[in-house]
Amino acid sequence: MAKRSVIIQHHPVETLGGNFTGILKQAGFDLHHVRVCDGAPDFAQFDAPDLSEVDLVVALGGPMSANDNYPALIQETAYLRAAATGDVGNRPVTPVVGICLGAQLLSRALGGAVAPTGGYQFGLRKIDVTDAGSSDPVFGKIEVPLVPTLHGEQFTVPAGGTLLAQGTMLRRDGGYVRFPMAFRYGLSYGFQFEPQLTWDELCVWNRELASDYELMGDRFDPREEAARNLREFTAFAPYHEAQMGRMLEALLAQAEMISPDPREVERDPASSHLLRRGRVIAHTIRPLSGRGTDIHYRMEGTRFAVTWGHTQFSITEKDIRLVLNEFFGNVGEWQQLGASMTDPPTHGMGRFVQGNIRGLTPRHASAIAAIMVNEGYLQYRGTSPIELKRV
């Protein structure tokens, strides 16, 4: 029987993201979206399934305040309280993952408070993990304490909760404020950061939420902060998605919704790859030539999202099968890569990619070939020229 997760969305562009969506679907969850954002500007209704039919609740971020008296937020707060406490002990607990506004609503639901910070954060920030956070079976999966943020308010840890991490913000008046960044309450967790964020989603945020950078105050240049945020997260995204994916899976295992450590993450000391047994989360690999910029790629559903220097593109599993079956149709026969932008050979992989995968050029074939070698589809030899054959 499929498990059911309620995803509460407070803003059209603040979504669950491909990383968390893929993990939940692979774990057998049906996702039921409750789009509070569709009720703007009055937010009069919160239409969620009965908790007896729900295994997990994920409450995402949004522009409202947890202190706003919108009917939908009042109803949602009661819903989160009933989920996290088991209706105050009257039924089984339903774990809640509260993110940003969702975490603030969870804090309020459990007796905590929410207040303005006096500033605003939008970008990667270091968090200070507590001893309790480091030893927590879920939060302890975060090995690099660097997280993407987007918020101007802060929560307190409710009575009975455990502080997992703290953060610091430069306020608009020039002072600093320190506040909780994560807490645990039973099987539920509140995060004042964005564990679900992917690079693709940040690109949307930078376009649709660009004015939020102005809320940081006159000590920050909005254009510079937007560029810095995207530049830094482009490099960090593969690691962020890997460790947050491990954290989500640990949360599901703790609640006995999946088997413990179903695909333990390993680090290959020879190559700095981040691997997941049975499924790639994220990779950083070298071009087959051994020269140039590292290639970062990750699996999102049925496609590979690729970042190679300033180039970002995606290829689907269907594209990979096309290259494998059509270009490398004869097992054991060596074929030339031919990824030159100026004069690619007519019968090389570069020309095939250009002619058969829309929007790609012969140069993209270099990254695709490296990925296919790393995934075990191809072998290669040489550097000039580079030749490949199907395994």
Specify burial of residue 345 (Cβ count, 10 A radius: 0-12, 13-18, 19+): middle
Euclidean distance between CA atoms 17 and 20, whole angstroms:
6
Residue 268 has pLDDT above 80, yes or no: no
Euclidean distance between CA atoms 108 and 157, whole angstroms:
9
Residue 292 has pLDDT above 80, yes or no: yes
Beta pairing, strands 188-191 & 96-99: parallel
Extract the tokens encoding 247.
């954290």
Euclidean distance between CA atoms 8 and 57, whole angstroms:
8
Task: Spell out the domains of the chain, with CATH numbers in brackets.
Answer: 3-254 (3.40.50.880), 265-390 (no CATH)
pLDDT, averaged across the chain = 90
Residue 331 has pLDDT above 80, yes or no: no
Measured in Å, how far apart are the chain's first and last C-alpha atoms? Answer: 38
Chain segment 344-382, per-residue pLDDT in tens: 788 899 999 988 998 888 889 999 999 988 888 888 888
Chain segment 52-111, per-residue pLDDT in tens: 999 999 999 999 999 999 999 999 999 999 999 998 777 889 999 999 999 999 999 999
pLDDT at 58: 98
Asked whether the whole model's pTM tops 0.95, one would answer no
Residue 267 has pLDDT above 80, yes or no: no
What element of type H or E holds 342? none
Residue 281 has pLDDT above 70, yes or no: no
pLDDT at 261: 56
pLDDT at 39: 95
Euclidean distance between CA atoms 116 and 214, whole angstroms:
16
